């Protein structure tokens, strides 16, 4: 169904202008013709359904085969878990790449338009979309060396000529920013026996696509629109910062990269303007937020990569000084964009985002704490040196040692997740954080990959038993987590586009204040990062009696005491009464 929210001619003119800024005149003309046809084709197949993000949006991050049960597909089991356990509080699901793949747990894609048979089928994806909004991964920087596209490239098929980035290995690539320690170029033999040196940003099995060839752009936009047709409400652009290569530069965040994202957004929104574009760029904070663009032309959501390491560092130190100073610097270019807040993911906790926030001593403290708790560290190449890239560990194990008391582990973990729920933006919850998983060493031994430590696949019956076990860590954490989520989704103050500010009430306390857009209500969310009771004076900020919406306790005095790792989400008690009067 064709969407007429905005004049189609205006959108097409912007698409044409973007193409002309990236490609030669002839290629821009050919690309525009192809995209115009692609847009028309998908407008006839996709019915646009307007949607605005709100406080009710919470996104669960999970693998398609995260949970399994004999006799049904993994995706069907996932759907059953969602419906039985979190349907009442989580409305959206980010299914990590579920397409046929050859490595990296799905991020080395063989077929963009297929579903891995070990996980299920498109029928299972459709079933998931009945009760949940879905985020699909657009892994469009690279694909598998075993993909038909790359095989045809090596077979010198004219249709796939120049589809991948091939370079002379004698060229100087020392300026290239690397997220890994592996070589930039990998040798492959084509069907004629010729050696082809192909750009591989992430691994030898992940060959980078060449967007200097406009035909690659057309192919990948067809893939992204296909995902929208299949039910994607949100599109995650994986590793998008690296998609444009230019020898002699860093090959990250290049102007063409931002232009391509703007172009992709225009094309997708010409078909379905409600689709949310979210960029995944694990880079220093100031570089990361550049993907908001002007606030209405690039990503609507950006991963808040500085939050996970800063949060862990602050809880381990019992000091929120660095976290609060960073939070106070957060600015958004418009009221149409927001952060995607999270602590853990399939990749671990990246530390690049805090390279200009934490000094070397502080970063080393975080790295050493992770290792002391049984975690691992992955590195990247910086010149001739190796630098920490990410911490590989379950988030609960970063915050506490598995040897520590469960009561402490529960308090610190829930504290960290409460902050995520209270931060301005949309919360993302990794499956293993929701159910209290610890680091899974067996996977590391089997795969010899550090990242596997937080990618354990769970048996449905086992996790059901653990979530029903009275007094168990998993059950206690899951129950407490769900309580906080349920409170959040019913408070308009937590709308991702509402006004916010961060208050300073002592180095131990992290405070976020949210204002509801319509009513003028506010919530002051206080979090005690220390292991001791702290007195807090709220008198400069409130006059009326308050109520903690978590415990429902009425607080008459503006000077109050927070217990170790305590969480208080406070509202004015008489606000509604005063309005009625």
Annotated active-site positions, please? Answer: 238
Q: What are the phi and psi torsion angles at 526 (to 5°)?
A: -110, 140
174-200: string of b/e by CB count within 10 Å (b at 16+)? eebbbbbebebbbebeeeeeeebbbbb
Distance from C-alpha of 295 to C-alpha of 242, rounded to nearest angstrom: 21
Distance from C-alpha of 57 to C-alpha of 391, rounded to nearest angstrom: 28
Distance from C-alpha of 102 to C-alpha of 117, rounded to nearest angstrom: 13
CA-wise closest residue to 355 among 297, 299, 306: 306
Strands of 479-565 (E only): list them: 499-503, 509-515, 522-528, 534-537, 546-548, 554-555, 559-562
Burial class (CB in 10 A: 0-12, 13-18, 19+), 557: exposed
Distance from C-alpha of 65 to C-alpha of 69, rounded to nearest angstrom: 10
CA-wise closest residue to 101 among 89, 118, 125, 126: 118
Distance from C-alpha of 296 to C-alpha of 254, rounded to nearest angstrom: 19
**Do residues 143 and 493 lie in contact, with contact meaning Cβ atoms separated by under 8 Å?**
no
Contacts of 27 (CB under 8 A, 6+ apart): 19, 214
Give the relative orientation of helices 74-81 and 122-129 as an angle to the nearest 10 degrees.
10
């Amino acid at each position: 169904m064709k969407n007429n929210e905005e004049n189609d001619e205006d959108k097409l003119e912007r698409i044409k202008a973007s193409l002309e800024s990236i490609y030669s005149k002839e290629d821009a003309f050919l690309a525009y013709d192809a995209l115009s046809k692609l847009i028309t084709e998908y407008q006839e197949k996709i019915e646009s359904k307007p949607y605005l993000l709100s406080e009710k949006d919470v996104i669960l991050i999970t693998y398609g085969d995260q949970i399994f049960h004999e006799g049904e597909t993994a995706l069907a089991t996932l759907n059953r878990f969602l419906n039985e356990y979190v349907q009442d509080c989580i409305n959206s699901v980010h299914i990590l790449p579920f397409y046929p793949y050859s490595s990296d747990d799905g991020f080395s894609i063989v077929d963009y338009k297929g579903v891995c048979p070990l996980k299920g089928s498109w029928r299972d994806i459709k079933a998931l979309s009945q009760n949940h909004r879905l985020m699909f991964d657009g892994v469009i920087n690279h694909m598998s060396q075993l993909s038909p596209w790359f095989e045809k490239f090596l077979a010198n098929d004219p249709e796939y000529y120049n589809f991948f980035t091939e370079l002379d290995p004698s060229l100087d690539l020392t300026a290239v920013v690397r997220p890994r320690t592996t070589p930039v170029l990998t040798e492959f033999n084509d069907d004629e026996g010729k050696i082809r040196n192909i750009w591989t940003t992430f691994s030898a099995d992940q060959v980078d696509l060449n967007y200097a060839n406009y035909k690659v752009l057309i192919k990948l936009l067809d893939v992204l629109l296909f995902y929208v047709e299949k039910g994607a409400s949100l599109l995650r652009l994986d590793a998008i910062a690296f998609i444009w290569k230019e020898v002699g530069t860093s090959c990250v965040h290049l102007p063409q990269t931002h232009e391509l994202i703007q172009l992709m957004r225009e094309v997708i929104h010409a078909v379905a303007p409600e689709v949310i574009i979210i960029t995944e760029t694990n880079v220093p904070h100031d570089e990361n937020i550049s993907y908001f663009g002007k606030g209405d032309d690039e990503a609507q959501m950006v991963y808040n990569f500085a939050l996970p390491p800063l949060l862990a560092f602050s809880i381990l130190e019992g000091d929120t000084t660095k976290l609060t100073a960073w939070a106070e610097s957060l600015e958004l270019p418009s009221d149409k964009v927001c952060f995607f807040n999270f602590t853990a993911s399939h990749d671990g906790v990246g530390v690049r985002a805090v390279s200009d926030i934490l000094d070397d001593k502080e970063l080393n403290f975080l790295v050493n704490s992770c290792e002391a708790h049984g975690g691992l560290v992955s590195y990247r190449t910086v010149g001739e040196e190796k630098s920490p890239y990410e911490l590989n560990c379950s988030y609960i194990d970063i915050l506490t040692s598995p040897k520590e008391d469960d009561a402490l582990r529960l308090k610190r973990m829930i504290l960290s997740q409460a902050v995520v729920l209270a931060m301005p933006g949309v919360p993302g919850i990794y499956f293993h954080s929701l159910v209290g998983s610890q680091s899974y060493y067996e996977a590391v031994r089997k795969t010899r990959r550090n990242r596997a430590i937080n990618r354990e696949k769970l048996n449905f019956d086992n996790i059901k038993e653990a979530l029903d076990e009275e007094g168990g860590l998993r059950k206690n954490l899951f129950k407490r987590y769900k309580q906080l989520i349920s409170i959040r989704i019913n408070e308009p103050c937590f709308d991702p586009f509402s006004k916010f500010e961060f208050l300073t009430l002592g180095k131990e306390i992290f405070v976020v204040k949210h204002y509801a857009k319509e009513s003028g209500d506010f919530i002051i969310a206080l979090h005690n990062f220390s292991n001791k009771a702290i007195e807090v004076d709220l008198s400069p900020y409130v006059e009326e009696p308050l109520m903690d919406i978590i415990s429902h306790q009425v607080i008459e005095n503006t000077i109050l005491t927070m217990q170790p790792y305590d969480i208080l989400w406070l509202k004015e008690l008489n606000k509604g009464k005063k309005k009625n009067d």
